[in-house]
Amino acid sequence: MAQQNAISPTRAEDFPEWYQQVIKAADLAENSEVRGCMVIKPWGYAIWELIQQHLDADFKRTGHTNAYFPMLIPISYLEKEAEHAEGFATECAVVTHHRLEAVKDPETGKVKMIPAGELTDKYVIRPTSETVIGAAFARWTESYRDLPLKINQWCNVMRWEMRPRIFLRTAEFLWQEGHTAHETKEEAIEETSTMHKVYEDFQRDVLAVPSIPGEKTEHERFPGAVQTFTVEAMVQDRKAIQAGTSHFLGQNFAKAQNISFAGRSNERQHAWTTSWGVSTRMIGMLIMAHSDDDGLICPPRVAPKQVVIVPITPKADTRDAIIAHCDELAAKLSAMNYGGMPLRVQVDTRDISGGTKKWEWIKKGVPVRIEIGPRDLEKGSICIARRDQPINVKSFVPETEFLTSAIELLGDIQSTLLKRQLDFRDSHIKPCNDLEELKAHFSTGTDADWLLSPWDGSPEEEETLAKSLRISIRCIPQGEFGCAAEELPCILTARPTTRRVLWARSY
């Protein structure tokens, strides 16, 4: 009889619903009472905390410091940057009153809270903070000696999302947003490139997701930016997730916010600025990239617990000895380091069945599960199950051998997950030099490969084609999928071009 999967439906049966069920089974998050918002539960928030720790170290290594800015942004600030504000206008939540008054309904007798005290100045809850941080930068910058300013903020933002999906698209979500101001254009471009690479490296090395770095087309560019760079991840239904962006803003925001300084010749000039950010969307990307029909699979570097030890105690007279031994093993493992951090180990001594414990840790995606029973204690061995392998695969090894290889084992799981995703991604990116072929490819089914095509169309032509097929240009890729030496006709205009773009469906 075949083993029944823990998650129903399976990925093949209904991928979107499978995703929701993995979140539920792993106890990561749940929908809030507020439409479009989520409650991030402890296991999910622990993953976010680890993401924060890794990225925060990268930001400080590259010369950035953390600060905090108000959640409420005066509408007048957005009016200074019309193009930027227009890009977020339909998603803004607006604060118009400053108090509530209790009013009893004469018919029902129920008390209702009615907004009162209308604000003279209206505010939006930040959809992003370019304008409010730009106003601060304008106050802080007098001379070229004050530059560069390199600030990061960890916070929440709100964009009134109409089609919410936990982690991927919610009205309120958590993120970091970096904002910098520079003396020269070249410094700002270098900053944009540096942070773009930080995101690519982090997602590959920590989340085990090999994203494709590239530049957004003019049509897909961040409102008000001169250039937008992205890291695009392919998940298991072959859709794209924009997993992080880095923007070269030129002097557009600096002129709108009057971020100016006295230059080296004492002439007044505007700064060159950047912004960049990633969010809790990366948790959704991680789930969709790695997990299987039994639940979450969490890469060791962001797993809240990397090793869980389950004592098997069928008889009361051996219980204390087995648990004491498990605690001793956990202490030895916790003294080790992996990825620059102490190992995160837990001994599960809860008074529930071993089978229930097993399935809970499988669904939560713990990389290594160890079981120790009376016979193992006698033999000096342990039973090991790796989450990157089928759930019925176990190995029995001497405990001393495991202690010398535990770090190597976690590293092997991390690299296995990365290679699995890299092979999957590369096998689902195909060249396409013909418009009719592209149309046919995206006109059937929902699980479609990414197509790499020569492109020299206008933003208007791109929008028309993208809407008709419900796809988008994810990026002008860099690296192995980037511009080619060979000129080919654009699939739409037939003009010769070396530029290549990646078309895909996306979340």
Spell out a b/e string for 210-232, using b for 16 or more CB atoms within 10 Å of the CB, else e: bbbbbbbbeebbbbbbbbbbbbb
User: In this model, does residue 283 exceed pLDDT 50?
Assistant: yes
Task: For residues 220 and 462, give the distance between their C-alpha atoms in angstroms, rounded to a whole number.
Answer: 10
Percentage of residues in the chain having pLDDT higher than 90: 89
Q: How far apart are CA 179 and CA 271, in angstroms?
A: 12
Arithmetic mean of pLDDT, 332-336: 98
Q: Structural domain boundaries of the chain? A: 15-89+127-290, 300-417, 429-504
**Cα(497)–Cα(507) distance, rounded to whole angstroms?**
29
Residues 15-89+127-290: name the CATH superfamily: Bira Bifunctional Protein; Domain 2 (3.30.930.10)
Return the CATH superfamily for domain 429-504. Answer: C-terminal domain of ProRS (3.30.110.30)
Distance of alpha carbon 502 from alpha carbon 232, whole angstroms: 10
Distance CA 15, CA 11 (A): 4
Q: How far apart are CA 312 and CA 318, in angstroms?
A: 10
**Residues constituting the chain:** 507
Buried (b) or exposed (e) across 375-387, using 16+ Cβ within 10 A? ebbeeebbbbbbb
Q: Please report which confidence band the pLDDT of residue 359 belongs to, taking 50, 70 and 90 as the band edges.
A: very high
Tokens 């016979």: give the residue: 375
CB neighbour class for 167 (10 Å; exposed up to 12, middle 13-18, buried from 19):
buried
Residue 303 · residue 297 · CB < 8 Å: no
Higher local confidence (pLDDT), 81 or 245: 245
428-464 pLDDT tens trace = 999 999 999 999 999 987 789 999 999 999 999 999 9
Q: Mean pLDDT over all residues of the chain?
A: 95
Report residue 179 as tokens: 């904002």
What pLDDT digit, counting tens, does each position of 216-240 carry? Answer: 999 999 988 999 999 999 999 999 9
Q: Report how far residue 453's alpha carbon sits from residue 396's, in angstroms, rounded to the nearest whole number.
A: 50
Q: How far is CA 293 from CA 2, 10, 25, 302, 392, in A?
A: 14, 5, 11, 20, 14
What is the third-level CATH fold of 300-417? Rossmann fold (3.40.50)
Sheet architecture: strand order including 381-386: 345-347, 307-311, 368-372, 381-386, 395-398
Q: Which helix (H) or strand (E) holds 316?
A: helix 316-334
Instruction: Name the H helices within 110-172.
Output: 130-140
The whole-number pLDDT of residue 2 equals 52
| 3-class state of residue 360 by DSSP | helix
pLDDT digits (tens, 9 = 90+) for 410-432: 999 999 999 999 999 999 999 99
- CB-side exposure of 232: number of CA atoms within 13 Å? 29
Span 380-393, average pLDDT:
96
Are 403 and 384 within 8 A, CB to CB?
no
Q: Which two tokens stand for residue 96?
A: 């118009």
Predicted local confidence at residue 85, as pLDDT: 66
Q: Is the pLDDT of residue 485 over 80?
A: no
pLDDT band at 314 (very low <50, low <70, confident <90, very high): confident
Spatial neighbors of 396 by CB under 8 A, at least 6 apart, are 376, 381, 382, 383, 384
CB 159 within 8 A of CB 177: no
Same CATH fold assignment for domains 15-89+127-290 and 300-417: no
Contacts of 408 (CB under 8 A, 6+ apart): none
Residue 1: per-residue pLDDT = 42
| CA dist., res. 362 & res. 289, Å (int) | 17
